Structure 1
Amino acid sequence: LNNALKKSVDDSYNMISVDGDTSTNDLVLLLANGCGGNTEIKEKNEEYYLFKKALHLVNLFLAQEIVKDGEGAKKFIAVKVSGAASKKDARLLSKSVITSNLVKTAFFGEDANWGRILAAMGYSGANFNPTGVSINFHNGSHSIMLMQEGTPLQFDEELALKILKENEITVELVLKEGTGEATAWGCDLSYEYVRINGDYRS
């Protein structure tokens, strides 16, 4: 259980951000009481990998629901990184972008601000050449390229606004460093978030 859970948590709960603050009582528990009467899985066989896959699907769903339930959240945002030098770098990049308050507020304001995204990538701790970065926004039915291999592009502001008005948006960051890839999930930062936390009394 521990082995399957650890890998899944790394790519689900540990890749989300509502406001960048991790509570001291945030934790993930996986319990097995044996009441199912099934044969215990003691090795990494076919049954183990089927269980591991199913467990990860559940964890991904629950992690994304945490984001969607974020205080004052209006938009659900996925940041997908590909072409990073390593999986570690891809994770650093995607998590840095989705945690950035300036990126979050840009999405709340429906502003296609690629500069804030590139800045968050820059302080992520990952090694990459910014001249190889391409940035694309899409919402399933529409897509717009903001930067191609380090060059900012002229883009259709109306199309960008149409994408940013959607409740679910994907940011694709394509690098030219290697094969590392990762996805992080988060939400925007709204006036409602400030009101809820400003009114809160301990």
Structure 2
Amino acid sequence: MADSNGSTDWDERFASGSYPRDPEPSSVLRAYEPSIPNGRALDLATGTGRNAVFLAEAGYDVDALDASREGLRITRERAAERGVADRIETVHADATEYAFPTERYALVTVSFYHTVDRFSDLAAALVDGGYLFVEGHLRSSRSTPSGPSDDRYRFAANELLRAGLGLSVRYYDETTQERPDDRRRATARLLACRAHGPRQSYPEGPTEGDRG
């Protein structure tokens, strides 16, 4: 969630409670997770552990990476509260510069952190058959107060899809979501697999009710 230049700002946001302490993982990630191979997972820019704690509860061993020490502290605290502290290893690092290991992860997740320039590194970090899940804010012609004010940190139409085409795309959408706080959010979501060949296996997809 934070990079090195903004880590102090994010430390303050996490400490003050202005960012949710216990954010929900994406409904798409929740729906597809049972079909994704077990193993080690990386939650890049974990924030307060949006994906990391969920994946640890699902049985993954998780590397939770962020530049914010406060976010990582909260992630560890939440993991302890859920009884999965032994499944999460926090990594204090700048996601823009971090040297990802190759062929290590069954699953890499990135939520609301703009990192298209690291896609090739994230793909190389997957084992064969491993999955990449990315969700992020979209540029929209409608007002979308939720998310960054600068379009540099939002995906253009189909930008996330094009970035994922080096993998085998399993799911993609671009949607607008109305939120209870009236902060409308435009979001792109991608699930892709490091797989090759004309015949592949496919995970069981979410039902229509799970896609929101």
TM-score range, shorter chain: under 0.3
More helix by share: 1
* TM-score, scaled relative to structure 2: 0.25
Considering only CA atoms, is the larger Rg found in Structure 1 or Structure 2? 1
Answer 1 or 2: higher relative contact order, Cα 8 Å, separation at least 6.
1
More strand by share: 2
